[in-house]
Chains A and B, each alone.
Chain A
Amino acid sequence: MIVLEVTVFLLVAAAGTAVVLTRDPLNQAIVASFYGLILGIMFFVYQAPDVALSQIAVGAVALPLMILLALAKVRALEGSRREDEDR
């Protein structure tokens, strides 16, 4: 059991660092989703299945999705602005 706990802690630390070190927002959203999943596993290992379920649903799915959609909107705006300048 202690091996599992130490492993999940190391994974959380590694994934958290990976989120910070990923500079491109698009890639970062995907890495953050992975980090959310690892956090969910950590909650599960520490016997909080209720929290784990919310964490996986929100941290691994909903949050990255909102970031992706917001990025798509920002890029669509920037793309149309660039086209304006090209004329």
Chain B
Amino acid sequence: MTPAVRRRVFLVAAAAAGALLLWGLTGLPDYGVYNGPYGDVLNRVAVAERSATNVVAAVTFDYRGVDTMGEEYILFAAVLGVAILLRAQRDEHEEPPDEDAADRDAPATSNAVRIVGLTLVGPVVLFGLYLVAHGHLTPGGGFQGGVVLATAALLVYLSGEYVTLRRVSPELVTDVAESVGAASYVAIGLLGVAAGTAFLANVLPLGQPGQLLSAGTILPINAAVGLEVAGGFVLLLSEFLEQTLVIRRPGEVT
């Protein structure tokens, strides 16, 4: 196919896709107009039923908790797959990262980056924990908080060395954190079964809306998700870094 023909095919396809998009846009409800009943119902009942002031969290971790469990296991499976693919395989061998760093002109980390990175680690950890702990009260929750916590590990790497990252997050700890986080979600769900109701039923005391210890199972589930996500992302980060820095195939020049 010559470039001219290709361009013509693209223009026809783009015009068709554009027309379809415009047609779809004209059928959208007006800005701010909401037609479905569910949002209104949830806004009315969620705080009274679950003591969760963040209705989004009440939906994702309670009313629709099984769905979120599936999402958590998607991430779990993805991280597991990356780990299986990237961990040293039989035809590969590890070399200390210092050996091949000499022939590559990696610039030394500047003091400015080191200082900014190190000062940010504390606040970022605190902010991550805050997001996880207050998921049922304000925007945030286990997923967002977990990713922010993992960012702290990234800051450690950026302002230090790969070795420092491994020292603050040993492989065993990240592996266990990810697995325990994932398993805890199911364990909390089974509390409902043990109490004689449904899986993932909110069986813990609900408390007063707006209190830190309220909304029943939503807080522990957020904690489990936070652990899983933080562990998973740090694991992902370490595996990728290890690949880039350490592992070589036999016969590769280093």
Contact = CB atoms under 8 A, between A and B. Distances in A.
Given A53-B131, A58-B147, A69 B139 contact: no
B240 A73 contact: yes
B233 interface: yes
A54 B248 CA distance: 34
Interface residues of B, number: 25
B240 A70 contact: yes
Contact of A80 (B233, B240, B253): B253
A69 B241 contact: yes
Majority SS at the chain A contact face: helix
Contacts of A66: 236, 240
Given A62-B233, A73-B240, A76-B244, A50 B151 contact: no
B237 interface: yes
Interface string B96-134: 000000001000000000000000000000000001000
A83 B143 CA distance: 43
Interface in B139-154: 139-141, 143-144, 147-148, 150-151, 154
Contacts of A80: 248, 252-254
Majority SS at the chain B contact face: helix
A50 B236 contact: no
Contacts of B150: 62
Interface string B224-254: 0000000001001100110110001000111
Interface in A60-87: 61-62, 65-66, 69-70, 72-73, 76-77, 79-80, 83-84
B237 A57 contact: no
B244 A54 contact: no
Interface residues on A, range: 20 to 34
A62 B147 contact: yes
A61 B56 contact: no
Given A50-B139, A50-B141, A53-B144, A69 B252 contact: no
Given A50-B139, A62-B233, A57 B240 contact: no
Contacts of A73: 240, 243-244
A55 to B, nearest CB: 9
A62 B154 CA distance: 10
A25 interface: no
A49 B139 contact: yes
Interface of B: 54, 56, 104, 131, 139-141, 143-144, 147-148, 150-151, 154, 233, 236-237, 240-241, 243-244, 248, 252-254
